[in-house]
Amino acid sequence: MAIDVILGLQWGDEGKGKIVDYLASDYDIVARFQGGPNAGHTLKFDGKKFVLHTIPSGIFRTEQKNLIGNGVVIDPITLSKELDKLRDAGVSFEDRLLVSKKAHLILPTHRLLDAASENAKGKAKIGSTLKGIGPTYMDKTGRNGLRAGDIARTNFMERYLALKEKHLSLLEIYPPVDFDLEAEEARWMESLNELRALQMVEGEYYINEALKAGKKILAEGAQGSMLDIDYGTYPFVTSSNTISAGVCTGLGVAPSQIGEVIGITKAYCTRVGSGPFPTELHDETGERLRAEGGEFGATTGRPRRCGWIDLPQLRYTIMVNGVTQLVMTKIDVLNIFEEISAAVAYKIDGVETQALPYDICDQELQPIFESRKGWEVTLDGITDFDALPKAAKDYIAYIEQQLNVRISMVSTGPEREKLIVR
């Protein structure tokens, strides 16, 4: 059996949580392979809403196992809050949630460093979620980090204190920030008990043995490809490989094991935090997209920047991910627009191009738009492709033709069942 992948093709928040939750019933295992509590994946079903940050979005399906892979960075405090919400909802997870021993831990001082570093950047702020992501991955690659498996070791406290001391010395280069380290540390230590109680596994053996036994596995991405540390809009990116290659390092599987790569795009585009966004709309249309799409961060509550769909950008992320099928979400948000636009190319220094420049941050880049008439009727909750108005079918066909990949699912509302599967 192969391992299928679901990931975001834009700047995150494409609706990955909803689609993973929907598809999870077809799989035996759902596995997160990168990122951490910077993610906020929203699931809506049976009149309830959940936002997951660390736990894979297959947790609400009763039969499926859910693995937090080694590429993920875990903050025990966030994880323990998520577990409390599952308990409150009566969802059992004890035998279904597994943690890879090699996943790195976010310490309170990682969050403190994140805050101090962002604060010191002034106007050059990345707009980090301040969850400690950057400093934790820095300690991972710098070979200083603590891993989930380390909490069972006798020298864990010693190593924790040594790393904390190192962080405190590093903090001296930054102006001070408001952070109650003592209180955060107490919460962190308490939350470790929750992590200890979970099943810790050698994630790479777990996944490869499952594959050998014919189990179906779905890898769930966090963030989006334009936030990838290598291929995103650097330096306005996150600190992990969000693209499909991240599945191999984040779960310990070979490239030959990857099956379908399902790329998700909104019917338009959003970004939260700083950095370039070629099709961003600073006008009333952008405001309408935000209001209609409820575009406020699931993790930080910040308003998301909104704009039209960007086809050269999507062609790029389809290329680096090897996308085999597309999912278009939030098409219902476009119901209210008389006219819908899509960027088909960019103009850089008067020259038209399809390619994203090396440093998109430095370039005066003008998107070239094509516009078409909207449908101006509600699509909310439509589950049958044939029930779509002609203008909506035409829009889907146009995007497919422009991107040369089939759109296999179209989401028409936030709830689990509001989905057209073609």
Place of tokens 């996943």: 103
Question: CB under 6 A: which stretch of 9-17, 159-167, 331-339, 343-351 binds ligand IMO?
Answer: 9-17
Residue 273 contact partner, candidates Mg ion, ligand GDP, ligand IMO, none, CB within 5 to 8 A by sort of partner: ligand IMO
Closer of 4 and 220 to Mg ion (Cβ): 220
Q: Which of 39, 43, 113, 396 binds ligand IMO (CB under 6 A)?
A: 39
| Partners of residue 306 on adjacent β-strands | 270
Cis peptide bond upstream of 312, omega within 30: no
Q: Which of 35, 36, 40, 224 binds Mg ion (CB under 5 A)?
A: 40
CA distance 241 to 221: 10
Place of tokens 């994140």: 114
| Partners of residue 199 on adjacent β-strands | 98
Closer of 105 and 200 to ligand IMO (Cβ): 105
Which residue in 41, 104, 110, 167 is the catalytic one? 41
Count of Cβ atoms closer than 10 Å to residue 303 Cβ? 14
13 is catalytic: yes
Cα separation values, 100 from 3, 77, 203, 251, Å = 17, 17, 5, 9
Q: Which two tokens stand for residue 377?
A: 């009727």
CA distance 248 to 265: 22
Region of 30 on the Ramachandran plot (φ > 0 left; ψ -120 to 50 alpha; else beta)? beta
Residue 294 contact partner, candidates Mg ion, ligand IMO, ligand GDP, none, CB within 5 to 8 A by sort of partner: ligand GDP
Touching ligand IMO, residues 13-32 (CB under 6 A): 13
Closer of 177 and 348 to ligand IMO (Cβ): 177
Q: Which of 106, 126, 253, 419 binds ligand IMO (CB under 6 A)?
A: 126
Q: Which of 54, 64, 109, 129 binds ligand IMO (CB under 6 A)?
A: 129
Residue 330 contact partner, candidates ligand IMO, Mg ion, ligand GDP, none, CB within 5 to 8 A by sort of partner: ligand GDP
Touching ligand IMO, residues 209-228 (CB under 6 A): 222-224, 227
- Cβ pair 16, 7 in contact under 8 A: yes
Q: Which two tokens stand for residue 294?
A: 């409820």
Closer of 149 and 293 to ligand IMO (Cβ): 293
Residue 10 contact partner, candidates ligand IMO, Mg ion, ligand GDP, none, CB within 5 to 8 A by sort of partner: none
DSSP state of 35: B
- Of 360, 358, 357, 104, nearest to 239 by C-alpha is 104
Q: Does 40 bind ligand IMO (CB under 6 A)?
A: yes
Q: Does 220 bind Mg ion (CB under 5 A)?
A: no
Q: Does 127 bind ligand IMO (CB under 6 A)?
A: yes
Please work out the total of residues on this chain that contact Mg ion, with binding judged by CB under 5 A.
Answer: 3
Q: Does 128 bind ligand IMO (CB under 6 A)?
A: yes
Q: Does 265 bind ligand IMO (CB under 6 A)?
A: no
CB of 269 to ligand GDP, least distance (A): 13
CA distance 303 to 307: 13
- Cβ pair 2, 258 in contact under 8 A: yes
Q: Tell me how many helices (H) and strands (E) the chain has.
A: 11, 20
For residue 354, which amino acid is it? Q
Binding site for ligand IMO (CB under 6 A): 8, 11-13, 35, 38-41, 126-129, 131, 133-134, 222-224, 227, 238, 272-273, 298
Which are the catalytic amino acids? 13, 41
